[in-house]
């Protein structure tokens, strides 16, 4: 009888444990991806962008202060908002150089701000990047190559990356996703194919004092020959994209 009671008690404990595991809340990233306010256009992009894995690699956490530099329609902005939560803050940074394109430059982000109170819009000049408080992360996706192009000034990348370095807390990270160009091409293709050489990005960013903290091949495409414009229908949405994470040293 004692053996039966012991077995029953053990089974009950296992059942309670299984219930507890089943009832555990989703991770902040999983919860953000499940946000029902995300538009269908964003959901359609998830399969190719692998946002869960990419954001886990970036390391964004609840309470973080994040700048989404040149956020476009806000695909990542809303995910950051949900992940960092009410104790965090997301700065959608649309440089003044972009404002010349009219209301469409900010309409995606401003639409999000009504339901996501922790998103703020900032519009400093690109060379004077700054936010109202020190940041845990600066993120820019498929935009870094644009900084070299005429419509952005072009920007002075030494000033841009130093301003981002200064805006981060010690230990903060700078995450760059961009379309890969042919090795050794430097900035040759930024204004034509909208691509940039990964080694050029590394050199420019590290010159500002950052250290390379990690790279990811989550969005790599070995079948991309790096010769097509990224808007070409043969490759659009599936370019060979590199992901670089730089860190501001704590010392």
pLDDT band at residue 55, thresholds of 50, 70 and 90?
A: very high
Report the DSSP pairing between strands 211-216 and 241-247. Answer: antiparallel
Q: Which of 147, 178, 142, 141 is nearest to 160 (CA)?
A: 147
**What is the pTM (predicted TM-score) of this model?**
0.90
Q: Which of 251, 136, 139, 144 is nearest to 203 (CA)?
A: 144
Arithmetic mean of pLDDT over the chain: 92
Greater confidence, 186 or 37? Answer: 186
Handedness of CA 102, 106, 108, 114 (dihedral sign): negative
Give residue 22's pLDDT. 54
Q: Is the separation of the CB atoms in 209 and 175 below 8 Å?
A: no
DSSP per-residue string spanning 96-114: HHHHTT-GGGTHHHHHHHT
Q: Which of 216, 208, 218 is nearest to 247 (CA)?
A: 208
Give the Cβ contact number of residue 117 at 10 Å.
Answer: 10
Give residue 28's pLDDT. 96
Whole-angstrom CA distances from 240 to 14, 28, 129, 237 are: 46, 28, 28, 9
What confidence tens digit (pLDDT) does each residue in 121-131 have?
999 999 999 99
pLDDT band at residue 21, thresholds of 50, 70 and 90?
A: very low
CA 211 to chain centre: 18
Give residue 42's pLDDT. 93
What confidence tens digit (pLDDT) does each residue in 132-154 have?
999 999 999 999 999 999 999 99
What confidence tens digit (pLDDT) does each residue in 30-46 have?
999 999 888 899 999 99
Is the confidence at residue 244, as pLDDT, over 70? yes
What confidence tens digit (pLDDT) does each residue in 149-163 have?
999 999 999 999 999
């Amino acid at each position: 009888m004692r053996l039966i009671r012991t077995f029953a008690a053990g089974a009950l404990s296992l059942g309670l444990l299984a219930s507890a595991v089943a009832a555990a809340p989703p991770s902040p990233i999983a919860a953000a991806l499940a946000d029902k306010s995300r538009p269908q256009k964003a959901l359609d992009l998830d399969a190719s962008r692998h946002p869960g894995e990419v954001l886990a690699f970036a390391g964004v956490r609840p309470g973080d202060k994040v700048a989404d530099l040149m956020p476009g329609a806000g695909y990542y902005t809303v995910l950051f908002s949900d992940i960092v939560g009410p104790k965090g803050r997301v700065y959608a940074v649309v440089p003044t150089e972009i404002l010349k394109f009219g209301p469409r430059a900010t309409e995606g982000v401003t639409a999000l701000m009504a339901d996501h109170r922790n998103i703020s819009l900032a519009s400093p000049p690109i060379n004077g990047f700054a936010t109202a408080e020190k940041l845990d992360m600066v993120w820019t996706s498929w935009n870094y190559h644009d900084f070299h192009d005429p419509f952005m000034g072009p920007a002075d990348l030494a000033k841009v990356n130093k301003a981002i370095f200064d805006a981060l807390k010690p230990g903060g990270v700078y995450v760059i996703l961009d379309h890969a160009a042919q090795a050794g091409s430097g900035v040759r293709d930024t204004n034509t194919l909208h691509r940039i050489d990964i080694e050029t990005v590394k050199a420019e960013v590290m010159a500002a004092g950052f250290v390379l903290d990690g790279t990811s091949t989550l969005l790599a495409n070995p079948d991309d020959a790096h010769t097509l414009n990224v808007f070409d229908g043969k490759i659009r949405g599936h370019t060979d994209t590199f992901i670089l994470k730089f860190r501001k040293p704590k010392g």
